[in-house]
Structure 1
Amino acid sequence: MIQENCYLNALGIICAAGNNGQQVKSNIQAGKINLLKSSDYHAGPALPLGLVDCELPPIPLADKKWQSRNNQCALAALEQIRPAVEEAINQFGSHRIAIIIGTSTSGIAESEKAIEQWVSTDTVPDSYHYGLQEMGAPAQFIAEVFGTTGPTYGISTACSSGAKAIATAQRLLSAGLCDAVIAGGVDTMCKLTVQGFSSLQAVSNEVCNPFSLNRKGINIGEGAALFLISGNKSGVELLGAGESSDAHHISAPEPNGAGAIKCMQAALDDAQIAANQIDYINLHGTATELNDQMESTAVQHIFGTNTLCSSTKPFTGHTLGAAGAIEAGICWLMLADKQQRFVPPHLWDEEVDPQLASIKLVSKSSIETNSINYALSNSFAFGGNNISLLLGRMS
């Protein structure tokens, strides 16, 4: 059945900010940073990392293709929405449930260990299966867990992957190709990402400091956010999605924000919402020199200087392929609770960079308590692969 409206019915989330939605919300409200210093993933001094710091559930499937920490992290989020998923399967049938998952690492951490053993012994561990690092593996794993047979695939567009999966869910529903979708993103820590971003000189040895004069770069994080998405009117409404690809550079954003402007405006147009109706923007806010310059320029161009904004990456780290889903999840937590409203504070040293366009960052000392009805979440990836999601509170 073709769905004219799209709702994020239920959220499962796990990241450095918390092991479920309530923990994430409480820690963000309190301004509590849980990034941990570690040198386990690189050579050199310990770096702050957004690590999931809890015991993850065991994989319930025997096939070694599924035995990755990435899938364990996905499963931890999935268990939080299991009742809603099972209800959707009963309502629509397993063949009408799609699964679209964004990731950029999949099971690469296990492949790193296998390669290390192969280099030293000319053998790989008996438990290793190459398929666990396929970008489609998390989606296929979830389909195996629930026995669903609808459209199932992965999206890997670097840091926009998780948000792209959510936008894809909207399109599948509107095309009538399914009746419900499990969509979101998952990425877990590995040496490839920590050392890779370090080689780009994009990693900070302190907790990241978005939009500050003293910003030094990102903190790598890990985590998962999975939604059950359908036409059933509950949770939070996905009103619009805007995507662009400026292809300016393999890793640097277009400096004038052309791609960001295009995708934010496209999300507004898709939702038929005016810029002055947006109450809050969850910024991509990586704390790198070029991203913050570009994003502040783009946000000011469309929204001026009065729309509340914050980057939540000091709470989570930059979770790469999961970032867009986790940050949409934080917006979901803001909008789904009709009783207890909050706006994520922008944690930084409050040293203004005069070279950045002025935007209204949420103060950590006096968190705004305005009623938030419309929230925009930005994700900007390598290659200029950009997306903005526009979420609305249910009336």
Structure 2
Amino acid sequence: MSRRRVVITGLGCVTSLASSSDKLFASLCEGKSGISKIECFDTAEYPVKFGGEVKDFEISEWISTREGRRMDRFTQMALASAIQAVEDSGLKFEGEDAERTSVIIGSGIGGLKEIEEQHIRLLEKGPRKVSPFCVPKLMGNAASGCVSIHYGLKGPNMCVVTACASAGNAIGEAFYNVLSGRSDISVTGGSEAALTPIGLASFCSLKSLSTRNDDPTNASRPFDKDRDGFVLSEGAGIVVIEEYEHAKKRGADIYCELLGYGATGDAHHITAPEPEGLGAGEAMKLALKDSGLNPGQIDYINAHGTSTQLNDVAESKAIRKVFGDDAYNLAVSSTKSCLGHLLGASGGVELIATSKAIKESVIPPTANLENVDPECDVKMDFVPKDAREKEVNYAMSNSLGFGGHNCSLVVGKV
């Protein structure tokens, strides 16, 4: 029996750079930055005062204000992105089998804003004043639940929580769900809204953030020898995937085909990656094997590329080990140079960029890359500063997370 084929037919996002997939990709290719001074709370006492804050988002543009108030910000952004992706796909769920459409959306942290606000209310006004919507808003599965409810989708509905690999793992599990025949369609990706007082303070305490307060747009510098940490951002990236014959029958516009998925664990450290990138490399190998491709067929890798000392070196080592000499023939870029790090949402947004790279034959750059860190290998092509026109037949998107989670997705031109 032949294996079912799975394709991507819809894209939707909310980011600090743009809140549509077309505008996002255009801005990435122009090397524009979505990083700016944080305005949603007072950062006077913080060593870091900038991030990838979404400043023009209003949930009332997508659903009623009353309904939106019952959702944490991460759920609002997930739902807005899902609505975009469904509209982009051209799907009309009224004519679909609701039990054969799954919703799998990841989030590394969930409703952090709601936790903070209700804890303040508890301390200032007492337990009787805590909102009855507190738990429904803070729970990590609220995004998948609300998207399912919005469209009346009754297939498998779940949330994946694997830190910064959450969206990538969610898409991978959705891919297998459709591949297995359990579903014909899946709305999948990730959302995160951890740019809050406690979120920023926590990462500041970890000393994992860039402190370039005088130059925020150039702060995220993946693979650059002068990088000093990642930039905390928020947003969501959702894709619609479906079985190929189903998409073809309804005349859908297909971005690309999902071909392979690999997931592993480092079993090394709760925050640091395995130094040689062994777990990340194994995830890439599994994704390649799943796709039936050899390393030399991959044209482009959208790297996890966080702009931290440990991650960039480990991921670079992993790519060299998996691809061998072919590592010097492929393009590798990190769109976090423009967007910062969206944590559990990053894999969704980055798969959107990867899908658009295939569709439009343009590779987005590593925008702020001036001098490649020798430990990342100066011979590798990290697509510095400027986008590149190039036919991309096969591409890979990597997501790596705290806890040692590694995820790779392989996509290809249809």
Match of 1:180 in 2: 185
The answer to whether the 8 A contact 1:284-1:311 is kept is yes
SS in 1 for 2:374: coil
The question of 1:323 aligning with 2:346 is answered yes
The answer to whether the 8 A contact 1:101-1:165 is kept is yes
TM-score, normalised by the number of residues in structure 1 = 0.93
The question of 1:221 aligning with 2:233 is answered yes
SS in 2 for 1:16: coil
Q: Distance in 1 between matches of 2:65 and 2:89?
A: 18
Q: Distance in 1 between matches of 2:79 and 2:168?
A: 19
Deviation readout 1:152-199 (Å, 9 max, x if unpaired):
111110000001111111111122211111001011132333222111
Match of 2:113 in 1: 109
Q: 1:298 to 1:254 in 2, by over 3 A?
A: same
Q: Distance in 2 between matches of 1:393 and 1:321?
A: 26
Deviation readout 1:40-89 (Å, 9 max, x if unpaired):
27532453211112132235496789422112211221221333677352
Q: Which amino acid aligns with 2:57?
A: E
The question of 1:362 aligning with 2:383 is answered yes
Match of 1:152 in 2: 157
CA RMSD of aligned residues (A): 2.1
Higher mean C-alpha deviation, range 71-80 or range 371-380 = 71-80
TM-score, normalised by the number of residues in structure 2 = 0.89
SS in 1 for 2:328: coil
Q: Distance in 1 between matches of 2:153 and 2:371?
A: 51
Q: Distance in 2 between matches of 1:67 and 1:371?
A: 41
Q: 1:6 to 1:371 in 2, by over 3 A?
A: same
The question of 1:74 aligning with 2:97 is answered no
Q: 1:371 aligns with which of 375, 385, 391?
A: 391
Deviation readout 1:190-233 (Å, 9 max, x if unpaired):
23332221111000023211111111001011111111111124
Deviation readout 1:339-363 (Å, 9 max, x if unpaired):
xx31111122422322333421103
Match of 1:8 in 2: 8
Match of 2:209 in 1: 203
Unmatched runs of 5 consecutive residues or more in structure 1: none
Q: Distance in 1 between matches of 2:115 and 2:64?
A: 21
The answer to whether the 8 A contact 2:230-2:308 is kept is yes
Higher mean C-alpha deviation, range 263-272 or range 43-52 = 43-52
Q: 1:270 to 1:126 in 2, by over 3 A?
A: closer
Match of 2:102 in 1: 98
Q: Distance in 1 between matches of 2:56 and 2:297?
A: 39
Q: Distance in 1 between matches of 2:83 and 2:388?
A: 33
Runs of 4+ in 1 over 6 A off after TM superposition: none
The question of 1:129 aligning with 2:134 is answered yes
Q: Distance in 1 between matches of 2:197 and 2:108?
A: 13
Unmatched runs of 5 consecutive residues or more in structure 2: 213-218, 249-253
The question of 1:167 aligning with 2:172 is answered yes
Deviation at 1:91, TM superposition (A): 4.1
